[in-house]
Amino acid sequence: MSTSTTPPAPTTDQVPAANRALLAWTFVVTALALFMVSLDNLVVTTALPVIKDDLGATLEQLEWTVNAYTLTFAVLLLTGAALGDRFGRRRMFALGLGTFTLASAFAAVAPNVGSLIAARALQGAGGAIALPLTLTLLSAVVPPARRGLALGAWGGVGGLAVALGPVVGGAIVEGISWQWIFWLNVPIGLAIVPLALLHLRESHGAERSLDLPGVALASTGLLGVVWGLVRGNAQGWGSAEIIAALVTGAALLVGFVLWELRTAAPMLPMRFFGDRAFAAANVASLALYFGMFGSVFLLTQFFQVVQGLSPLQSGIRILPWTIMPMFVTPIAGALSDRVGGGRIIAVGMALLAAGLAWVAAVTRVDVPYVELVGGFVVSGIGMALFFGPVSNVVLSTVRPSEEGKASGANNAIREVGGVLGVAVLASVFSHVGGYGSPTAFVDGLEAATWIGAGVVGLGAVGALFIPRRQSATLVARPLAPLGLTADDLVAELATGTVAERRAPTPSA
């Protein structure tokens, strides 16, 4: 019997060599950019005590070293994606990455802490333009049948960068100097930008509107509020400067909401918040990042300032917390399909609150690490249970065409939570204790961590208001590339929704 030599019908993953090369280049370039930008969220935390001594920085200036990055990143995240739609995604990706690289060089040679803060703000602006476009560019060239694999690897790169941030920062500071945290970005950026311009495919989005008044109102409003919170202890909470900053910032944020309600093309459609699940999930996101970022900001300093450990040793001690989501998030996603995303988010935030309370309860000047590590593990598990379902909860509340804005809004709100967490908890730390002595540091840290635990606990209560939704509402929706970040992909991979969103393979 003769065997048929008729070739099989082509499938969507049998692509020409030229397309395979395009896909390979796109993945390499976008993954490197994603790793570099994501790493800078936490990489500087273990260097803070060294920067404090080297540049003579105050607690207020250390706060701005962290917040200048996250604040500009949060405010410009949605705008970065819109710029890519309007002016070309490859072009704006290269511009954003070039800005990030140039700002990294400025940070490395900063002669004083003011220059470092300005460079960090410019880094955040560049990162906000480049990061959402990494996913947009990659998803545009991946065949539907391979989208889950490619985007899964992409999400894993982002998750790894966040987990390794404190450890990488500690190793660089200890092995070379804190400036090399920023110098490391320069050769990578100089290599990626020309590769992007040479090998990536240009594309534009259908929606090209820019909400510049919204950006101006949100950024100046948040700046005013954060300025007041950061400088309140030093200037006095009743001083004209602080009252003016807080009142003006709040008024501008109210103006932002009113503008978004009336403009034809809002960067953040306020009607999203009319959905109970969307509103509750974003309140939970704000609370979780508030407690997490504020606590990590102080704990990484505790190990060095109080216990005399090296930056690398400090980063390694935080690792059980930051790396836990990589192992637990898949379990969280599977459970959320059965019991509902809101319940899993509430349990996760309750665990994070319990972990922070654990740390606050046992922390003392000579506390053995073994007494802290349990709190770190519990906190990490809690974060993982949050990350697993939160993106699916948020995306299930909007139409497929609006998923990009909804996801981008959720990520921006998370970053704002981190900014407020650092500002408020550092203010509590400074009011109750400070850097005067190890005992004063522990007093401030303990009070701040209890506040962080309380805010996360309130977020857990808010998460209980998320109604249970069928995960099937997401099946067969096209992947919305605009605005998603590494956290989104880790969460979607956990529940399998990336694979479910693949377009159907055409029949032969």
Per-residue exposure over 104-139, b if at least 16 CB sit within 10 Å of its own CB, e if not? bbbbbebeebeebbbbbbbbbbbbbbbbbbbbbbbb
Given a contact cutoff of 8 angstroms between Cβ atoms, the answer to whether 138 and 91 are in contact is no
Given a contact cutoff of 8 angstroms between Cβ atoms, the answer to whether 422 and 294 are in contact is yes
Q: CA 359 to CA 352: how far, in whole Å? A: 11
Q: Can you read off the two tokens belonging to residue 78?
A: 């949605």
Per-residue exposure over 398-409, b if at least 16 CB sit within 10 Å of its own CB, e if not? beeebbbbbbbb
Q: CA 362 to CA 377: how far, in whole Å? A: 15
Q: CA 365 to CA 232: how far, in whole Å? A: 27
Q: CA 90 to CA 377: how far, in whole Å? A: 40
Q: What is the pLDDT of residue 374?
A: 92
CA dihedral 305, 310, 316, 317 (to 10 degrees): -30
Q: Which residues of the chain have pLDDT under 50?
A: 1-15, 470-508
Quick check: pTM over 0.85? no
